[in-house]
Amino acid sequence: MNKKSRTRLLVATGVIVVVFVIGVVFLVQRQGAYYSQVSDLTAGKYDDKNVKVGGRVLDGTIARDAGGVHFTIEDLTGKSDTVKVTYAGQMPNTFDAGVDVVVVGKYASADGVITADQLQTKCPSKYKGQASPSAQPGQ
Amino acid sequence: MLGLGTFSLWAALFFALAGAVFLGLGMYWDRKDLLRNGYYAVYAFFLASVVAAAVLLQAFLKGDFSFSYVAENSDASLSVFYRIAGFWAGQQGSFLFWLLLLAIVAVVIALLDLSRLERLTGGAVMVLSIISAVFAALMVFDSGSSPFTRAEAGVQPFGLNPLLLHPAMVLHPPALFIGYVGLAVPFAYAVSTLLLGRGDKLWVQRAQKWGVAGWLFLTLGIGLGAWWAYVVLSFGGYWGWDPVENTSLVPWLTATALLHSFTLYKARGLFKHWALGLAAVTFFFTILATWTTRTGLISSVHAFEKNDLLIDILTTFLVVTVASSIGLIAWRWRRFESHEELQSLLSREFFYYVTNLLLTLFAVAVAFATVGVPLLAAGLSFNLFGVIPISLPGLSVFPDAVGIGAYDVVARPLGVVTVALIAICPLLAWRKTDGAALRHTLILPLVTMGLSAVLWLYLGFQSNILGFIGLLVCGFAFGAVIQFVLHAARRAAGPDKSLWSGMARAFSGSRTRTAAYFVHFGMVLVVAGLLGSNVYKIETSTIVKVKPGATASLNGYTLTYRTMDESTGGAQGSSSSVAYFDVTKDGKALGTLAPHTDVYPMSGAAVRAVILGRPFEDLFVVADEPFDSTSKTIALRTVIFPLIRWVWIGSILLCVGAAVSLWPRGGRKEQKVRVPEANADAGEAAPADGATA
């Protein structure tokens, strides 16, 4: 390879790689969600940030309207803090009161609501059903 | 029977290791007798794997629930089809299936090489034997990974997860595993040729078909998985950038780049380092998928702390793979330098290079976002084999998860760029000729772009300008692929100058080039379908009263509730509540849709979607929550997916293309056709291996 075309190739490669890496870093920063406990949110550590929160769906809080599903989750670390969640997507088939969920979305500190764009019930793996065979005898 | 299964796994482990030792020594000392003995050990390893698999299969067929794995993944009510599917429905059985596939591949390669006994192939089979030994060791030493453990007395069979009761889900896992194992072969040959220091193209000739076959099945597996997610998971989509999906997409991307590198390696002696590196990276990613699932890194949110022998073995295996690949490539770097020069940035070679670079960067970015970011954020802390402490502090600069939006932002433009590369590549050869010829070649793509613009406007796609531009690029590429075929046909036309005979010759001539027509055409359709169904997807959720005449509407479609049915006696003792809706579009009756809720005694209620397929869009209807005859309302989600069928049709074309390049040719003819191609038509022959741009 002659020197000129080698230089050109390196420059072209460098430009593509640098643009790509900057783009990815920017996106990860922007779209990244930090894991937090419900109690961290109520303590004001993640005001108006993207968050990934685990919590247990409180009984009797699930409501539905045109804006999606609304429910309240409580802290998983034994504290009594709760936070409201709004989710407009399709509910996982295993969603219900008392279920542990992980939601990803933006936490609005003003009204204390997470507007979630992802909702997973715990144990989403295809392997291992929703319960082990012995845990659910002939339900 | 459990004992026989476990014993067979021990035997498989022993013979795989014995094979590796004989083959390694045979390759090192160049001793054919040792190679032959190594192959005999591989035959024994194969037999042992077959026995182990047969033991598990008969347990599924007979319903022997003393196997805890069978009890967890099957029950007496399942049909034979789904009983067999239980084999790979869980992780332990998947490992055994993987081992069986490795054994089949190793034994086929060994049989083909028995008359030659070449060092290169001996080395490759050695690598496959080592990989097999790792899988056998997993099952032998980690009781949690063995399919041959005894169920506790009185355990009730759990049955197959009802979500898996679908033909696509029966075929999706084996397709992925066959893909992964096929792609282990290029890695095995790469390691072998590096050990031997052979910079020629023999290893590529030996490994290429396996790589194409692996790519074919990986494509099929990903496509079936997406289709299954669409029709069964009922979440209103087919791809959610879920970690499980991402970890299968990543090796597909690098394998695509690998196949392109193979083409130029063979034709021009270019991209040698790329081919070696991509073979290793692709293999690494196939194992990383399993590692990721097992660590629970993604679904849990804490640093992985458990001591788990499986994780120890897999982690060590990954580290050894990376270290040895980097070490070997660095050691032999100079032997794989290209002799040919890259002349200009406007050459086909350069565009191949850009394709490789983009596919690899995309793969690394997806892997980084899916696995790297959560790993770096959470940190690692465990004792490898209970002895070596491995500790990586969590870094707070990294977020714990990356939103789905980020993937779309990267994937959409990259998809369009890929299609643009597909379009430009065949035109580039003309650029070196005169301008008149170039203008001539541009006519057809511009015409198809114009025609497609009419269609996109008719479908209302001008509402999103970036999507519209992307679809115009697809329209252009469509014409470029046809131009590419016509050009080849004209060139191949016989003395009668008939375009049809030329077409027949062009298609029967070079398998890889014919494959490229199909695959590139399929890829254009897939990208157009992905853009259409993502960018222009419309959805709404309506609460419909359970009362005849209640309606929900979206974009001209009206769904009118008619009645509800209850039925019992479905698969696994399930019962169903079915709601019937009459569908009209702008007043015209289109039929009846019946979204339903299935209730399984063992695993509860699940909503099921129904789809009304129309030429340019699908109407997808599902209840947001389970309902039954006592429900007063149904929360009905309706989604319109434009062009989604193009994704499925395009995916089929991708597989057809790969299958074409695997189809055996008639021996002599091949020589005749290939020789002139390699010289006069090298530019045309080059972009011709089964994959994207």
| Per-residue pLDDT at A51 exceeds 80 | yes
Task: Report chain B residues whose CB lies below 8 A from the CB of A2.
Answer: 341
What's the rounded Cα separation, in Å, for the pair B438 and B428? 9
What's the rounded Cα separation, in Å, for the pair B406 and B514? 36
Q: What's residue B141's pLDDT?
A: 93
What's the rounded Cα separation, in Å, for the pair B544 and B357? 51
Q: How far is B343 from chain A (nearest CA, A)?
A: 7
Q: Do A35 and B400 touch (CB under 8 A)?
A: yes
Q: What's residue B629's pLDDT?
A: 85
Residue to substitute from B273, B302, B625, B631, interface A, most A β-carbons within 10 A: B625
Pairing of strands A82-87, A113-121: parallel
Residue A137 contacts B where some CB pair is shorter than 8 Å: yes
Place of tokens 């980084």: B368
Name the residue in chain B with its Cα closest to that of A89. B235
**Chain centre distance of CA B684:** 28
Q: Do B369 and A24 touch (CB under 8 A)?
A: yes
Q: According to the per-residue pLDDT averaged within each range, which of A59-68, A99-108, B392-401, B515-524 is highest? A: B515-524
Q: 3-state class of B56 per DSSP? A: helix
Task: Note which residues in 16-35 of chain A have CB less than 8 A from chain B.
Answer: 16-17, 20, 23-24, 27-35
Q: How far is A90 from chain B (nearest CA, A)?
A: 5
Q: How far is A110 from chain B (nearest CA, A)?
A: 22
Q: Do B161 and A129 touch (CB under 8 A)?
A: yes
Give the pLDDT band of residue A66 (cuts 50, 70, 90).
Answer: low
Pick from B145, B125, B135: nearest CA to B99: B135
A32, A102, A117 member nearest B301 (Cβ): A102
What CATH topology corresponds to A32-121? OB fold (Dihydrolipoamide Acetyltransferase, E2P) (2.40.50)
Q: 3-state class of B563 per DSSP? A: strand
| Per-residue pLDDT at A8 exceeds 70 | yes
Task: Report chain B residues whose CB lies below 8 A from the CB of A32.
Answer: 373, 398-403
Token pair for B501: 């005979």
| CB contact set of A85 (below 8 Å; sequence gap of 6+) | A70, A71, A72, A73, A103, A105, A113, A114, A116, A119
What's the rounded Cα separation, in Å, for the pair B269 and B337? 9
What's the rounded Cα separation, in Å, for the pair A87 and A55? 14
| Per-residue pLDDT at A40 exceeds 90 | no
Work out how many CB contacts closer than 8 A connect A with B: 155
Task: Note which residues in 56-115 of chain A have CB less than 8 A from chain B.
Answer: 64, 66, 68-69, 88-94, 102, 104
- Which CATH code for domain B1-165? 1.20.120
Give the pLDDT band of residue A126 (cuts 50, 70, 90).
Answer: very low
Name the residue in chain A with its Cα closest to that of B158. A133
How many Å is the Cα radius of gyration of chain B? 27
Q: What's residue B489's pLDDT?
A: 82
Q: Do A24 and B377 touch (CB under 8 A)?
A: no
Pairing of strands A32-36, A50-57: parallel
Low-confidence ranges of chain B (pLDDT < 70): 294-307, 340-345, 426, 429-438, 494-497, 602-603, 665-693
Contact by Cβ (8 Å): B543, B693: no
Token pair for B421: 């590369």
| DSSP alpha helix (H) spans, B63-118 | 68-73, 80-85, 91-113
Phi, psi (degrees; rounded to nearest 5) at B153: -60, 140
Q: Do B365 and A130 touch (CB under 8 A)?
A: no
A1, A32, A50 member nearest B341 (Cβ): A1
Residue to substitute from A27, A51, A64, A101, interface B, most B β-carbons within 10 A: A27
Contact by Cβ (8 Å): B275, B190: yes
A17, A34, A93 member nearest B399 (Cβ): A34
Q: What are the boundaries of each domain within chain B? A: 1-165, 171-339+379-399, 404-529+654-685, 538-642
| Per-residue pLDDT at A137 exceeds 70 | no
